[in-house]
């Protein structure tokens, strides 16, 4: 890695430590950091102890009582423990407190020349122009700023609008389209970005441009976006990119599908930054051009060029810095089908990125990773596979075990069963405590939403992963890059005036959008639970009934609540949220004669209603039933 030349730019830092928080929030975060590790280790230890107890019981059981099902149940528990450890283990690389950064700004008129490249491909004209105006209205000397709209949609109307806007823009504004058919050009978004860089260099005179920013066409940036990011890049010559959190202004109340990136922004990314392994998560980034050259531009095969770009930079010795400020506001997909398509695109990008990085062990591309960075990359690369096993295959396997009607637990003595039941109950308590501790960092409701979203999305992602490895004759059409702004369905379920009827929504979402799987698995879980309850009622004595309950449906280590989370999109289909038209979510301002639109203050925070807490009722009821059965019905 070649270090850039030093410049005489002025950068100021305040005493404010980011992310900003009150004294109470800081105390809660300190408590969370202190308690998460012992709590997680205790959970894993309890799970391992349960596996040991189950295995011992099988070994000591009489030959006539040994069946395959208890052995498979032990294997199920082992895989559950292993996948959980693989998902969360990287966080143990953090020693001490997480990193905090000072608020940083590049000040004065002596600033470097910067390109802002806005990539688009057929999105709505108004959306693109709002982003362009915000980019042109940066608090930055106009002579040192150039905005380039890179259009893969071949939109003549957009080209005319950019030409007209360029006459009043305080900075240079350019339009560029590369050859090819709209929407199907080589390399998709990454190809557009590479082409835009080549074009920008071809029309630039003077010294080479040292910095460039990339924005998606639906991301409206704050006026100090450039000064904030460049401040970090100038202070740290070995930083190749600065990443800004992605925030959204059209999130629905209660965020029922978990479309926010709040937990990722304020928990995962902060911890990644502490390990010098921040993910480059797409729009709202400022690169050092030399870093892009070192990695030979953006990979055009991976489908999602962002995270792999950050991984490659780390592997080449560059730092990826995280700016702990909300400086950009974008749009999430406004319907279920678009949300699913977006996440499927992300998982394909992860799978292909893992191949490029050789799962973090590529000899040349990952040669300069520290052991902490390599650990983060390995966990990221195996993440889709681990999640598919943990959240799709294991719940299905458990239902198959239940369908066998055989006991899951072989217990030779009531005391042993009691011990295992207590361990299982403590595991459940620890899981809930972990959710609450995570909530101290980023909000309990958001933490619960992410867990729920990962569960119901997992079946779609599993199928996508399988298709990625199948030959074309079996996989069908390959996954293509479709810009998020063009992903939509005709249900318009969040538009109160135009949404389809509830019956049409249910039919389309269940049959065409894949919710039949969630309905089938959820119904199967309820049926098996009810069947087992009725089987327990056939026993003559209360002791035999309780023995049946604790060795079948409510065996230690079992979690039926995962099937409740699986039904979240069904509830969404029945009661979708309402979101106002986009323009009503924005406020108009005028900067240097340029009309700009930014999100209203009320749209800069997540909205929650009291109805969210009704979703917590299932686990409260479940634990209450277990306690009642244990203390009142099944007492010895």
Distance of CA 608 to the CA centre of its chain: 20
Burial letters for 485-505: b for 16+ Cβ neighbours within 10 Å, e otherwise?
bbbebebbbbbeeebbeeeeb
**At CA 543, angle to CA 538 and CA 548, rounded to 5?**
55
Could you tell me the CA-to-CA distances from 206 to 146, 172, 203, 316, 329 in Å, in that order? 14, 15, 10, 28, 33
pLDDT on residue 615: 87
Residue 490 confidence (pLDDT): 81
Helix (H, G, I), strand (E, B) or coil at 333: coil
**pLDDT for 4 beyond 80:** no
CA distances from 612 to 133, 198, 254, 446, 545 (A): 37, 49, 7, 11, 36
Q: At a CB cut-off of 8 Å and minimum separation 6, what does 67 contact?
A: 406, 407, 410
Place of tokens 């009503």: 584
197: in domain: no
Measured from the Cβ of residue 421, the count of other Cβ atoms closer than 10 Å reads 21
Q: 427 in a domain, yes or no? A: yes
**Sequence-ordered strand ranges (E) for 250-334:** 285-288, 319-322, 328-330
Buried b (16+ CB within 10 A) or exposed e, 220-258: bbbbbbbbbbbbbbbeeeebbbbbbbbbbbbbbebbbbb
Task: Compute the distance between CA of residue 555 and CA of residue 312 in angstroms, rounded to an integer.
Answer: 46
Name the token pair of 591.
């900067």
Phi, psi of 279 (to 5 degrees): -75, 135
* pLDDT tens figures, 518-534: 999 999 999 999 999 99
Range 251-277 average pLDDT: 94
Nearest in space to 282 (alpha carbons), one of 318, 312, 241, 319: 241
Give, for 448, the enclosing helix (H) or strand (E).
Answer: helix 444-469
Full residue range of the structural domain in which residue 530 is found: 385-633
Structure token digits, residue 112: 């470097």
d(C-alpha 51, C-alpha 57), whole Å: 10
- Note the pLDDT of residue 488: 59
Residues in a beta bridge with 105: 12
- pLDDT of residue 67 exceeding 90, the answer is no
Q: Is the pLDDT of residue 479 over 60?
A: no
**How high is the pLDDT of residue 543?**
84
Which carries the bigger pLDDT value, residue 460 or residue 474? 460
Side-chain-side CA neighbours of residue 482 (13 Å)? 17
Tell me the Ramachandran region of residue 57: left when phi exceeds 0, alpha when psi lies from -120 to 50, beta otherwise: alpha
Residue that wins the pLDDT comparison between 613 and 502: 502
List 319's β-bridge partners, or say none: 239
**Does residue 397 fall inside a structural domain?**
yes
Residue 270 belongs to some domain of the structure: no
Q: Closest Cα to residue 596, out of 12, 126, 253, 178?
A: 126
CA–CA gap between residue 635 and residue 89 (Å, rounded) = 39
The three-state secondary structure class of 59 is helix
Q: Distance (Å, rounded) from C-alpha 612 to C-alpha 448? A: 10
Residue pair 200/117 in contact by the 8 Å Cβ criterion:
yes
How much is the pLDDT for 66? 60
User: Which are the contacts of 228, defined by CB distance < 8 A and separation ≥ 6?
Assistant: 103, 104, 105, 106, 244, 323, 325, 327
Residue 489 has pLDDT above 90, yes or no: no
**Over the stretch 216-254, which tens digit does the pLDDT of each residue have?**
999 999 999 999 999 999 999 999 999 999 999 999 999
- pLDDT class of 33 with cuts at 50, 70, 90: confident
Residue 210 has pLDDT above 70, yes or no: yes
Q: Is 204 among the domain residues? A: no
Pairing of strands 145-151, 328-330: unpaired
Give the count of domains, the chain.
1
Beta strands in 218-273 (DSSP E): 220-221, 239-243, 247-248
The pLDDT value given to residue 58: 86
Q: What is the pLDDT of residues 312-322, one digit of tens each?
A: 999 999 999 99
Q: Is the pLDDT of residue 633 over 90?
A: no
- For residues 591 and 272, the model is more confident at 272
Is residue 307 predicted with pLDDT exceeding 60?
yes
| pLDDT at site 628 | 86
Q: Residue 302 — pLDDT band, cuts 50, 70, 90?
A: confident
Beta pairing class for 586-591 and 211-216: unpaired
Is 518 domain-assigned?
yes
Residue 257 has pLDDT above 90, yes or no: yes
pLDDT tens column, 384-440? 999 999 999 999 999 999 999 999 998 767 888 889 999 999 999 999 999 888 888
CA dist 112 and 144 (Å) reads 7
Query: Does residue 289 have a pLDDT over 60?
Result: yes
Is residue 477 pLDDT above 80, yes or no?
Answer: no
Q: What is the pLDDT of residue 593?
A: 82
- Residue 79 included in any domain: no
pLDDT band at 6, cuts 50/70/90?
Answer: low
Give per-residue pLDDT as tens, 133-159: 999 999 999 999 999 999 999 999 999
Secondary structure class of 191 (helix, strand, coil): helix
Does pLDDT of 487 surpass 60? no
- Dist. CA 449–CA 443, nearest whole Å: 10
Q: Among 27-36, 66-75, 268-277, whose mean pLDDT is lowest?
A: 27-36
Residue whose token pair is 């000899």: 363
The answer to whether residues 365 and 357 touch, using CB atoms and an 8 Å cutoff, is: yes
- Would you state the pLDDT for residue 64? 59
The helix/strand/coil state of 586 is: strand
Rounded-to-integer distance, Cα 134 and Cα 457, Å: 34
Rounded to whole angstroms, the Cα distance separating 297 from 295 reads: 6
- For residue 470, the model assigns a pLDDT of 87
315-356 residue pLDDT tens: 999 999 999 999 999 999 999 999 999 999 999 999 999 999
Q: Is 90 exceeded by the pLDDT of residue 361? A: yes
Q: Tell me: the pLDDT tens digits for 549-596?
A: 999 999 999 999 999 999 999 999 999 999 999 999 999 998 878 899
Q: Please give the pLDDT value at position 482.
A: 57
Residues in the chain: 636
Is residue 484 scored above 70 in pLDDT? no
CB 263 within 8 A of CB 359: no
User: pLDDT per residue over 445-464, tens digit each?
Assistant: 999 999 999 999 999 999 99
Cis peptide preceding 284, ω within 30 of 0: no
Contacts of residue 280, Cβ cutoff 8 Å, sequence gap at least 6: 241, 243, 306, 307, 309, 310, 313, 320
**Tokens standing for residue 480:** 């293509």
pLDDT at 17: 83
For residue 88, the model assigns a pLDDT of 93
Answer whether residue 467 is part of any domain.
yes
Side-chain half-sphere exposure of 354, counting CA atoms within 13 A = 18
* CB proximity list for 442: less than 8 A, separation 6 or greater: 262, 263, 265, 266, 267
Residue for token pair 């894993």: 44
Residues of the chain with pLDDT > 90, as a percent, come to 73
Residue 544 pLDDT class (50, 70, 90 cuts): confident
CA gap 348, 374 in Å, rounded: 21
Tell me the C-alpha distance between 367 and 313, whole Å. Answer: 11
Place of tokens 């780390």: 314
In degrees, rounded to 5, the angle at the alpha carbon of residue 350 between the alpha carbons of residues 347 and 356 is 150
Where b means 16+ CB within 10 Å and e means fewer, 616-636 reads eeebeebeeebeebbeeebee
């Amino acid at each position: 890695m070649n270090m850039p030349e030093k410049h005489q730019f002025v950068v100021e830092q305040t005493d404010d430590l980011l992310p900003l928080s009150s004294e109470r929030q800081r105390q809660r975060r300190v408590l969370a950091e202190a308690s998460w590790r012992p709590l997680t280790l205790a959970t894993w230890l309890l799970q391992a102890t349960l596996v040991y107890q189950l295995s011992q019981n099988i070994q000591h059981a009489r030959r006539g009582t040994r069946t395959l099902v208890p052995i498979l149940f032990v294997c199920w528990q082992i895989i559950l423990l292993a996948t959980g450890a693989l998902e969360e283990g990287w966080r143990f690389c953090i020693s001490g407190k997480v990193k905090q950064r000072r608020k940083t700004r590049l000040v004065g008129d002596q600033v470097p020349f910067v390109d802002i490249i806005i990539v688009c491909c057929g999105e709505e004209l108004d959306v693109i122009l709002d982003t362009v105006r915000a980019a042109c209205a940066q608090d930055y000397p106009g002579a040192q700023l150039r905005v380039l709209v890179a259009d893969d949609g071949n939109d003549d109307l957009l080209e005319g609008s950019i030409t007209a806007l360029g006459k009043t823009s305080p900075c240079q504004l350019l339009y560029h389209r590369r050859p090819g058919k709209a929407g199907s050009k080589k390399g998709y978004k990454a190809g557009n970005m590479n082409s835009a860089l080549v074009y920008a260099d071809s029309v630039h005179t003077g010294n080479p441009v040292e910095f460039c920013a990339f924005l998606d066409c639906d991301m409206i940036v704050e006026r100090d976006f450039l000064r904030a990011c460049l401040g970090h890049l100038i202070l740290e010559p070995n930083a190749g990119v600065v990443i800004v959190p992605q925030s959204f202004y059209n999130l629905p109340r209660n965020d029922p599908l978990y479309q926010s990136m709040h937990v990722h922004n304020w928990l995962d990314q902060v911890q990644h930054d502490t390990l010098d392994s921040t993910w480059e998560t797409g729009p709202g980034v400022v690169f050092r051009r030399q870093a892009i050259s070192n990695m030979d531009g953006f990979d055009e095969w991976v489908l999602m060029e962002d995270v792999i770009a950050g991984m490659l930079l780390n592997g080449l010795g560059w730092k990826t810095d995280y700016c702990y400020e909300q400086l950009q506001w974008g749009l999430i997909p406004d319907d279920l089908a678009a949300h699913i398509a977006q996440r499927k695109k992300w998982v394909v990008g992860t799978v292909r990125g893992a191949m490029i990085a050789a799962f973090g062990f590529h000899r040349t591309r990952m040669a300069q990773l520290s052991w902490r960075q390599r650990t983060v990359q390995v966990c990221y690369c195996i993440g889709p596979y681990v999640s598919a096993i943990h959240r799709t295959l294991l719940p299905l396997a458990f239902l198959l075990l239940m369908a066998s009607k055989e006991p899951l637990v072989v217990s030779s003595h009531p005391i042993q069963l009691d011990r295992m039941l207590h361990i299982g109950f403590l595991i459940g308590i620890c899981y809930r405590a972990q959710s609450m501790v995570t909530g101290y960092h980023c909000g309990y409701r958001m933490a619960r939403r992410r867990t729920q979203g990962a569960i119901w999305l997992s079946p779609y992602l599993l199928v996508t992963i399988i298709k990625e490895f199948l030959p074309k004759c079996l996989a069908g059409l390959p996954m293509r890059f479709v810009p998020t702004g063009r992903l939509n369905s005709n249900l318009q379920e969040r538009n109160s005036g135009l949404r389809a009827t509830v019956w049409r929504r249910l039919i389309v979402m269940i049959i065409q959008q894949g919710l039949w799987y969630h309905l089938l698995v959820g119904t199967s879980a309820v049926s098996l639970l009810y069947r087992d309850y009725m089987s327990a009622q056939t026993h003559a004595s209360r002791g035999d009934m309780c023995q049946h309950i604790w060795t079948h449906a409510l065996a230690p280590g079992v979690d039926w609540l995962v099937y409740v989370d699986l039904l979240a999109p069904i509830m969404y289909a029945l009661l979708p949220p309402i979101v106002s038209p986009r323009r009503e979510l924005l406020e108009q301002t005028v900067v240097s004669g340029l009309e700009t639109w930014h999100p209203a203050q009320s749209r800069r925070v997540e909205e929650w209603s009291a109805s969210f807490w009704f979703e917590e009722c299932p686990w409260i009821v479940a634990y209450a039933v277990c306690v009642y059965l244990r203390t009142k019905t099944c007492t010895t």
